[in-house]
Amino acid sequence: MTTLDKAPVDAPAPPTPAAPAPDTAPGARAPERKLKLGGITREDVFTVLGSLTGALGLEWVLYERVLPFSGALGFLLCWYLLFLTGYFVLGRLQWGALLVRERLVSVVTWSAGLLVLGLIADQIGYVASRGYQAAQHMNFFTESMERTASLSPITSGGALNAIVGSLEQLGLATLFAVPLGIAAAVFMSEIGGRMARPVRTLVEAMTALPSIVAGLFILGIVILTLGFDKSGFAASLALTVMMMPIVTRAAEVVIRLVPGTLREASYALGGSQWRTVWNVVLPTARRGLMTAVVLGMARAVGETSPVLLTSGFTSRLNGNPFEGHQISLPLYIWSYVKLPVDEMVARAFAAALTLMAVVLILFVTARMLGGRAAGELSRRQKRRIARAAAARPVPTASTPVAPVAASVRPAVATGEH
């Protein structure tokens, strides 16, 4: 027997191929991982803090020791400019030029947003501090000024008559302005023609119309010419003149944002232009239209000049806007804030705080009524889809696939068609 005929005793056995893992099998889906875009890192925080500290120190040296400057506003402005310069220099030492420019724009945007929030908080805090003396008593919201004099205690009288007058006048103005404004927007965006340009020009001119002109217009036409008395109804007409161009312009922009393919699909299904506008365009633009309405209401609720000329002044509660003088919150504030009595000034600031609360309620209500946009899933629907996707089994190479013939019954045998 030769050496070649003998098999080696200690020769290793050939390796057997390992079975593929379930998660690495062909056709298996890798687990999804969310990628976090942007965010704030530790380097970003330290860079901002270092820039702020260095700019503050350099600004103090320049203002106090070198330059003959003074004033808090100039100090803050120069500090901000030095902060941006320092942030750019420190960022350039760490990142590329493109990333530095991107983060510098982010810092400017964040600082602008914080500045706006700070100004709003400062205004609300100032009004609340001046009006808290009157607003803390419930009589301010449940009584009128009919039996209250200038030297009466703060626990006497309130702004109930002004609150009721503002709500009624704003409600009537919304009732008049919203249908007219949306109809004009639909005419300019959907119908067009030769009259669309003059109407658009007139609406743009009315947008910049001073509020006192609207009051003079209603005073001359409705009160002096037609012979109506000053009332809440006349004030609501003046507010309608102020609201309608705001609602029209905002509604036109929103309606133009509706995709043209939706209109084409409606026309392809045999819908007329009226049904397309009523059932497709307006429901799609519902949220934007609610925003347009809120913008108009926010413009009208704080107007003083039209109400001053058309509604008259009264210290008693008048719930009928079509008869008698009726006061509103802006007119209440304007009438009492100029009096040299601390209690009356406190009542005026409390009315201003109430006016802010009314505007906030209007915005929240419009947001709730607007709902979600057309085609947008609700949170419950999104959670249901996510649960269904998580419960669905992941297909692998070893998963048996049932034949189609075994899972489908023949239509002939079952009598189904």
SS3 408: coil
Is residue 395 within 8 A of residue 27, CB to CB? The reply is yes
Is residue 326 within 8 A of residue 165, CB to CB? The reply is yes
Encode the chain (417 residues) as per-residue pLDDT tens digits: 444 444 444 545 555 555 555 545 555 566 666 655 667 788 888 999 999 999 999 888 888 788 777 788 888 888 999 999 999 999 999 888 898 999 999 999 999 999 999 999 999 999 999 999 899 989 999 999 988 888 888 888 889 999 999 999 999 999 999 999 999 999 998 887 788 888 888 888 888 888 889 999 999 999 999 988 999 999 999 999 999 999 999 999 999 888 888 888 998 988 888 899 998 999 888 888 888 888 888 888 888 888 989 998 888 999 899 988 999 999 999 999 988 888 999 999 999 999 999 888 877 877 776 555 555 556 777 788 888 888 877 655 555 554 444 444 444 344 444
Which segments of the chain belong to CATH 1.10.3720.10?
A: 142-370
CA distance 225 to 219: 8
Classified by CATH at the fold level, domain 142-370 comes out as MetI-like fold (1.10.3720)
| Token pair belonging to 382 | 């999104």
CA distance 407 to 411: 12
Compute and round to an integer the Cα radius of gyration of the chain.
35
Is residue 134 within 8 A of residue 154, CB to CB? The reply is yes
